[in-house]
Amino acid sequence: MRIPCPCCGSRDRREFTYYGASVFLDRPAEDAGLEAWDAYLHLRDNPAGVTRDLWYHDPCQSWIEVERDTVTHAILSTAPVARRRA
Amino acid sequence: MRYSGFRVFTQGLGGNKGWTPAWRRPDPKPDYDIVIIGGGGHGLSTAYYLARNHGLRNIAVLEKGYLGGGNVGRNTTIVRANYFLPGNSEFYSHSLKLWEGLERELNYNVMHSQRGLINLFHSDGQRDAFARRGNAMLAQGDDAVLLDRDGVRRMVPYLDFEQTRFPIYGGLYHPRGGTARHDAVAWGYARGADRLGVDLIQNCEVTGIDIQNGRVTGVQTTRGAIRARKVAMVVAGRSGQVAAMAGMRLPVESHILQAFVTEGLKPVIDHVISFGMGHFYISQSDKGGLVFGGDLDFYASYAARGNLPMVEHVMEAGMTLMPMIGRARLLRSWGGIMDMSPDGSPIIDTTHVDGLYVNTGWNYGGFKAVPASGWCLAHLMATGTPHPVAARFRLDRFRTGRGLMDEEGTGAQHNLH
Amino acid sequence: MTQTHRIPGKGLLIDRARPVRFTFDGVEVQGFHGDTLASALLANGQRMIARSFKYHRPRGVMTAGSEDPSALVEVLEGSQQTPNVRATTQEIHEGLTARSQNRIGSLRHDLLAVNDWLAPFFSAGFYYKTFMWPRAFWERLYEPAIRRAAGLGSLSGHHDVAVYEKAWAHCDLLVIGAGPAGLMAALTAARAGAEVILADEDVRMGGRLLSDQPAVGGLSGPDWAARTVAELAAMPNVRLMTRTTVTGAYDDGTFGALERVGLHVPAPGDLPRECFWRIVARRAILAAGALERPIAHPDNDRPGVMLASGLVSHVAKWGVNPGRVVIFSNNDSGLATARHLTAQGIEIAAYVDPRAIPVTEDFPVYAQATVTGTRGRHGLRDVAVTHAGGTSMIPARTLALAGGWNPTLHLTCHMNGRPVWEESLAAFVPKPGMVPGLSVAGAARGRFSTAACLADGVEVAGEVLRDLSLRPKKTPVPEAEDAPYAIAPLWAVDAGGRAWLDFANDVTTKDVRLAAQEGYASVEHMKRYTTQGMAPDQGKSSNVAALAVLAEATGQGIPATGTTTYRPPFVPVSIGALGAGGRAEGFAPQRLLTSDAKSRAMGAPMIEAGLWYRPSYFPRAGENDWRTACDREVAQVREAVGTCDVSTLGKIDVQGRDAARFLDFVYTNTMSTLKPGRVRYGLMLREDGFVMDDGTCARLAEDHFLVTTTTAAAGLVMRHMDFVHQAFCADWDVRLISVTEAWAQFALAGPKSRAVLASLGIRADLPFMGCTHIDLGGVRARLFRISFSGEEGYEIAVPTRYGASLFEALLSAVHAEGGCAYGMEALNVLRIEKGFITHAEIHGRVTADDVGLGRMVSAKKDCIGKAAAHRPGLTEPGREQLVGLMPVNQGETLSAGAHLYNERDLATRENNQGYVTSVAPSPTLGCWLGLGFVKDGRSRMGQVIRLDDGLRGHKVLVEICDPVFFDPEGGRMRG
């Protein structure tokens, strides 16, 4: 598996560390309540198909949101996580 | 037809013409008391124990492919009861006891072999952690022996005690741990359930779960609608999709775990050996293949196949731990889909829908759980109360934080358990 | 033996001027350079090479390639031994020592051949039905017997000390297989300028051109192949890899490949045995040809029974004389083989074909006939041919089976794809697009004639080049035979007796039918129940026939029956090759401290701490165990001064206008109120509310912080902080970088630490928890006043290149003050005496409150983990809390890993009160000390509880106490 790092180009999977679904980007407010935090931390759509998840490219320290297919492993797009707020 | 050595002999004399099918191939009936979605190990054992322990007969197991085609037929076949945390301890202990009588129970030789499991440790800190675990095993009434380096060497002298990257300090030995013939477990339960009247329906995929007024009423399938008063989702590797049919999101992320087998070899590894520093575990099957595995590929996947980084990592671990296997050849590698839960422990529970039950989140420990998982889910479905040894496998524990069973201590990141 | 079965003048690959001696089963045998073990043994008249897996039937050579199901042997090199070596691919070399395997006694007189007589009772899956009584006999009797009988070759049991390698290669186009299609594809692409790798399993490129030797473009097949290979070899953009099998197709154009580098060399020296390649290709063309399949007929497994293609190869490549040959074929390629062999002077005793074909050949033809049996105990003697006129016994030395061809499409199915049934070929062919970027050309997609393969190579390469935005040059397709291929499927001949489908696992047609009869009727059930296709050849010669027999038994038809899953590797790959580099210390990087060499020189045993090595203790003369040295080191620190390399701690540099605000978000406590020049202890939570890590945070300047992490969590915390920054506040002005390797850092601890600093010329007027830049002999260094020992303590950090000399300087200065270097053991004792926690305590299941640090979670601000830490399960009473444990009887030892029970309770799970995480013998307090967790522990101070280590038979009464055993007020630290 090779992942196009937006910073470094196509790299072998072994340079990356996986975190989980990109729902981790949508952090609830401190007082959002148990349900919201449960949904954020634990509950997953877990799709068999296209998903978005989070990978860290260790050499360049970029967190990347990867759009890919969990059935075929095809990678559809990648974008730096930081772009959302920067 | 009852199986025995005598029967094998007489059938052999008669050209093996008289063997009858291990199970029927019934068409689905329109109506069942209980429908189990998923004809894997857990689903089949659930059906078996519903019939055997609770006298229920009007049961169907719906399998989208062939019986035992999921993880029960693609794992490294390890059976053990060596957990630390309450909840897991009593459950796997119960499961191991069921394993110990399984051949006779099912009249099917599942080749459960208690060849002993050795968990190696490689630092003082790890020794302490394994001792803590071993003491929990003793407190549960199971067996555990703490081996020092020489003790390990006496049992498995072929490990590299001199040069390995992480020197062997000792091991936690679990004599009752071992392996079983994975397919036979599924087939044994299938045959047992069938003999008790359970309909095992293959090539029947569930496409919808019917719910009226908060109560389950049946399922839609590729072979028509089936009414049922109770429905259990027992579909490791597809839990998310099936639960979505009932409007549920589960605390589960599905990952690939690869496993490996070599060409057949004369006996060389007697025990099950687990090398934590390398996430490597190995045993030798009765056919002679070395069966081994490692860690997840670490990315969410339904592909049932993996990639080279983990393949190579596992082989490198093998070479540092036991370089004698260097000339064994990897024959086949495959991937199973693991439903990873946020604390690494499973879920057997009711749901927000009356009559709908869920069995999921087995991470990569599902094979050894097959007997007790079925036993406990059957208990829950038949009696309405959780079985005492599975009482902690609650779906809401993540929301409340009560009764989490995070053996690895890695927290709510699904792939780290 | 003297090569009695060699045809004069034949043998493309052998060099008759170079005889090679080797031994097989202890007998010296002569072959020629270029022979395989199989060809050399056949040339010497030895047909029986192996015993079969289950029934221990005599077996010989069936093919000329890696797919051979039967000819498996052991190769010996000194104490090393390689099992299951294919005699058909092992090239002989001077001194090669091989032997037959899976036998008790000799190859000819194998005691386990008795299994063959018991075959009626060893039907498919018989073991599931018996061996259940009595229960204890399974592990003691039945299973050991089964295990001894099963398996094939043996490992030596010694460490494999051979050299293996792994490598990477990148290219535009990977061409897999160098037969006519592959050569033309590679040529077309290379001429267009593509970076091409052409990989072929065999010793010489050419594929079937070398065996069938058809004319190509006016040259003989081998000559045309040689000329084409020479052209490719001369091109700088082409890499030719022979003896290289592509083993697997993985995601995004990554392929695994195994190169046999040193296996054919008598003294390989530094050459690796094998090299495992990771080839990353923008596009790939599979041109791996097709594999011939046998026909299942009674006793079709004797030595001397071969596949027709294997026979032709042995004749053409190695000049093996097969003697009288019977060919049993259901298709035109078998007939062509008969003509081809006849033309070369081989005697075809009979050509047997179930089809109604014309009988006008130069050899006896039995049309509408089948082979219904064979005779010959250790090798084929007669072939029974049943035809319209009855059954004839035809004496023959070789029976060649030609059951049709299966395209070698395995790689196309490595991503779970399934091939499609092509009725006209009676074979599965690949479905396009099953592996992204992988195209198929030639026989691998059912183009069986030479001309079709050549043309297909050009065509498919052209398509690929267009995808690569390269313009193909006009590549003319050379002329060659273009014979049609007609086949009348015949999978099994039913004539009583056992007809083998899977030679490698001894699976017969009866077994497959029995599986269907017993309800194991899906192809996966059949495979698993009979074990068909699970042997070393992975069913290469048997899968299609077996599922055809199953389809017939169930009445389902072949397309509906489907195939089982194709999995990598295409050929078995040694663990040594796949795990190359992992042996011994190679498994993981080794991180060494700048003080490493000096510490080792001082005799310190080094222990692993993650990937680091740290000194355990520094023994002095007369100190024969860790305990003596450790006690002394602890005492010296408490009484004088000690130094310790603490560089393994993670160090993260945090800079920017919003750095303080950012740290407030990742730490539970507040860092923004920290003054420059001060240090604060900090606690981080995971987002699920449990403790992630602890460490210090130093404010070096208004917008510059240095965060330290524990050794174990350095990488984790770095990733975590990067995530928090990039995901939640990327717009803040803050930059993070790991500087763990940039600084060497040493702790000084003890009442005389200030004196040591003074002797180094450092003014030590720093307050407790202060930090400053210092000049150390012209080196810009950092000084922190922090303590992990409870004594007045400092840490000095210098750029890593000065670490070794600073350690030397510290050692001298410390020794001058009556102090010493101390190791991990003393470090641990010192921190336990002070109740400082490590990852033994913050083990991933504890909250800040569990470890007594609940007040460190600021109520005034949000932070990572705060919301989830308020879940009821993390805050309710009954949680296990960190406590200190001291033995009631001072002399007793404590053990980490023990559990805790109320004094009179049995040691059961239900009674459990907690457990011990760390223990240490404290020379300061004169007894063992422990840290552990006890249910509601902080409210149980002073209670006596039983430490129970059943595993080691150790029970001690301990008193629950505050975890800070020594100097609870902290006066010593503050100085």
B174 and B287 together in one domain: yes
Shortest Cα distance from B302 to chain A (angstroms)?
5
Q: Write the residue in A13, A30, A56 that is nearest to C867 by C-beta.
A: A30
Alpha-carbon separation of residue B59 from B119, B243, B341, C411 (angstroms): 40, 20, 28, 42
Is the separation of the CB atoms in B280 and B321 below 8 Å?
Answer: yes
> How many domains in chain A?
1
Q: Which of residues 207-246 of B touch A (CB under 8 A)?
A: 238-241, 244
As a whole number, the mean pLDDT across chain A is 97
Between positions 190 and 249 of C, the ones with CB within 8 A of B are 248
A77 contact C CB<8A: no
Which residues are paired to C393 by β-bridges? Answer: C384
Tell me, yes or no, whether B94 lies in a domain.
no
Q: Is A11 helix (H, G, I), strand (E, B) or coil?
A: strand
The predicted-structure confidence for C795-838, as pLDDT tens digits, reads as follows: 999 999 999 999 999 999 999 999 999 999 999 999 999 999 99
**CB-CB under 8 Å, C909 with B89:** yes
- Inside any domain, residue B244: yes
Count Cα neighbours of B331 within 13 Å in the Cβ-side half-sphere.
23
Please state, in angstroms and rounded to a whole number, the distance separating the CA atoms of residues C121 and A8.
63
Q: Tell whether B323 and B261 lie within a shared domain.
A: yes
* Angle between helix C221-233 and helix C180-191 axes, rounded to 10 deg: 30
CATH of the domain at B34: 3.50.50.60
Interface test with C, best of B7, B84, B135 (most C CBs within 10 A): B135
Same domain, B238 and B350: yes
Residue C717's alpha-carbon distances to C54, C658, C667, in angstroms, are: 55, 19, 11
- Kindly report the nearest CA distance between residue A21 and chain C, in angstroms: 13
Phi, psi (degrees; rounded to nearest 5) at B185? -65, -45
Is the pLDDT score of B164 beyond 90? no
Same domain as B293, residue B187: no
The answer on B352 and B246 residing in a single domain is yes
Phi then psi for residue A79, to 5 deg, are -150, 145
Instruction: Name B97's Cβ contacts closer than 8 Å, sequence gap at least 6.
Output: none
Pick B250's closest partner by Cβ from A12, A13, A43. A43
pLDDT of residue A16: 98
Does B240 contact A47 at a Cβ distance shorter than 8 Å? yes
The pLDDT assigned to B340 comes to 98
Is the pLDDT score of C673 beyond 60?
yes
- Same domain for B142 and B172, yes or no, is yes
Q: Which residues of chain C does B66 touch, with a Cβ-Cβ cutoff of 8 Å?
A: 522, 524-525
Q: Domain range holding B229?
A: 24-75+183-251+343-416
Give the per-residue pLDDT at C198. Answer: 98
* Rounded Cα distance, C126 and B108, in Å: 10
pLDDT at C1 over 70: no
Question: Does residue C5 contact residue C43 with C-beta atoms inside 8 Å?
Answer: yes
The full length of chain B comes to 417
Picking from C66, C138, C152, C155 by the largest number of B CB atoms within 10 A of its own CB, the best residue to mutate is C155
Give yes or no for A52 touching C (CB within 8 A): no
pLDDT for the residue C136 = 87
Question: Nearest 5 degrees, angle CA C726-CA C730-CA C733?
Answer: 125
The domain tally of chain B equals: 2
Average pLDDT value for chain C = 97
**Environment class of residue C903 by beta-carbon count within 10 Å: exposed (0-12), middle (13-18) or buried (19+)?**
exposed
What's the CATH number where A56 sits?
3.30.2270.10
Nearest to C568 among B146, B312, B333 (CB): B333
Q: What percentage of chain C has pLDDT greater than the value 70?
A: 100
CB-based contacts of C910, cutoff 8 Å, min separation 6? none
CB B300 within 8 A of CB B254: yes
What confidence score (pLDDT) does residue C49 get?
97
Is B411 within a domain? yes
Cβ-nearest to A34 among B254, B301, B399: B399
Question: How does residue C863 score in pLDDT terms, banded at 50, 70 and 90?
Answer: very high
Of A12, A41, A85, the CB nearest to C731: A85
Nearest chain A CA: its distance from C861 CA (Å): 9
The band of C50, judged by pLDDT with boundaries at 50, 70 and 90, is: very high
Q: Which residues of A touch B300 (CB under 8 A)?
A: 20-21, 46, 51, 53, 70
The reply to whether B331 and B277 lie within a common domain is yes
Q: If pLDDT is split at 50, 70 and 90, which confidence band does B415 have?
A: very high
Give the per-residue pLDDT at B96.
98
Q: What pLDDT is attached to residue C763? A: 86
Residues B277 and B287 both lie in one domain: yes
Find residue C367's DSSP bridge partners. Answer: C353
| Torsion sign (Cα): B264, B269, B271, B273 | negative
**At A85, is the pLDDT very low, low, confident or very high (cuts 50, 70, 90)?**
confident
Residue B87 domain-assigned (yes or no) = no
User: Pick from B128, B265, B314: which is nearest to C151 by CB?
Assistant: B265
Same domain, B121 and B199: no
Residue C165 in contact with partner chain A when CB distance is under 8 A:
no
Residue A86, pLDDT > 80, answer no
CATH number at residue B303: 3.30.9.10
Name B414's Cβ contacts closer than 8 Å, sequence gap at least 6.
A20, A44, B252, B253, B255, B340, B341, B342
CA closest to A14 among chain B residues: B309
Contacts of C407 (CB under 8 A, 6+ apart): C289, C290, C419, C427, C428, C429, C430, C440, C443, C444, C445, C446
Confidence label for B386 from pLDDT (cuts 50, 70 and 90): very high
Q: How far is B213 from chain C (nearest CA, A)?
A: 31
Question: What would the mean pLDDT of C454-466 be, rounded to a whole number?
Answer: 98
What is the C-alpha separation between A76 and A52, in angstroms, rounded?
10
Are B167 and B193 in a shared domain? no
Find out whether C932 and C914 touch, Cβ atoms under 8 Å.
yes
Query: Would an 8 Å CB–CB cutoff place A63 in contact with chain C?
Result: yes
Domain that residue A42 falls in: 2-85
Q: What is the pLDDT of residues C748-784, one digit of tens each?
A: 999 999 999 999 999 878 999 999 999 999 999 999 9
pLDDT tens-digit profile of B71-121? 999 999 999 999 999 999 999 999 999 999 999 999 999 999 999 999 999
Q: What is the ipTM of this complex?
A: 0.99
Q: What is the pLDDT of residue C122?
A: 94
| Predicted local distance difference test score (pLDDT) of residue C591 | 97
Taking the CA of residue B334 and the nearest CA in chain C, the distance in Å comes to: 7
pLDDT in tens, B120-149: 999 999 999 999 999 999 999 999 999 999
Site from B241, B250, B253, B310 to mutate, A interface, most A CB atoms within 10 angstroms: B253
pLDDT digits (tens, 9 = 90+) for B215-226: 999 999 999 999
A40 touches chain B (CB under 8 A): no
Three-state SS letters, B223-259:
CEEEEEEEEEECCCCCHHHHHHHCCCCECCEEEEEEE
- Among partner residues A32, A54, A74, which is closest to C436 by beta-carbon distance? A74
What is residue C966's predicted lDDT score, i.e. its pLDDT? Answer: 97
Of A1, A43, A47, the CB nearest to B251: A43
pLDDT, position C934 = 98
Taking only residues 250 to 289 of chain B, the set having a beta carbon closer than 8 angstroms to any beta carbon of chain A reads 250-254
Would you tell me how many other CB atoms lie within 10 Å of the CB of residue A29? 10
pLDDT digits (tens, 9 = 90+) for C22-39: 999 999 999 999 999 999
Residue C644 sits at φ, ψ, to 5 deg, of -150, 135
Q: How far is A83 from chain B (nearest CA, A)?
A: 23
C chain contacts of residue B112, beta-carbon cutoff 8 Å: 138
Inter-chain touch B158–C157, beta carbons under 8 Å: yes
In this complex, do C726 and A41 lie within 8 Å of one another by their Cβ atoms? no
Pairing of strands C274-286, C254-260: antiparallel
CB within 8 Å: A39 and B300 = no
Tell me which residues of chain C, numbers 718 to 747, contact chain A at a CB-CB cutoff of 8 Å. Answer: 718-719, 722-723, 725-731, 736-737
pLDDT of residue C764: 76
Structure tokens at B56: 């229920």
Q: Residue C975's pLDDT band (boundaries 50, 70, 90)?
A: confident
| Model pLDDT for residues C341-387, shown as the tens digit of each residue | 999 999 999 999 999 999 889 999 999 999 999 999 999 999 999 99
| Residue C872: per-residue pLDDT | 98
- B133 in any annotated domain: yes
Q: Is the Cβ of C371 closer than 8 Å to some Cβ of chain A?
A: no
**Are B201 and B122 part of one and the same domain?**
no
Q: Taking CB atoms and an 8 Å limit, are B301 and A47 in contact across chains?
A: no
Model pTM score: 0.97
Closest CB to C153 among B265, B316, B326: B265
pLDDT tier, C267 (very low <50, low <70, confident <90, very high otherwise): confident
Q: How far is C714 from chain A (nearest CA, A)?
A: 13
Residue B200 lies in a domain: yes
pLDDT at residue C391, rounded to an integer: 97
Residues of C in contact with B129 (CB under 8 A): 843, 897
The pLDDT value recorded for residue C469 is 97
Percent of chain B with pLDDT over 90: 99
- Chain C nearest-CA distance from B266, in A, is 5
CB contact under 8 A, A19 and B253: no
Q: What are the φ and ψ backbone dihedral angles of C33, each rounded to 5 degrees?
A: -55, 130
- What integer pLDDT is reported at residue C509 of this predicted model? 97
Transcribe C57-74 into DSSP letters. -EE----SSTT-SS-EEE
The values of phi and psi at residue A41, to 5°, are -85, -30
Helix (H), strand (E) at residue C756: helix C753-759
User: For residue C258, what pLDDT is reported?
Assistant: 98
The distance of B252 to chain C (nearest Cα, Å) reads: 15
Q: Is residue B383 part of a domain?
A: yes
Together in a domain, B391 and B365: yes
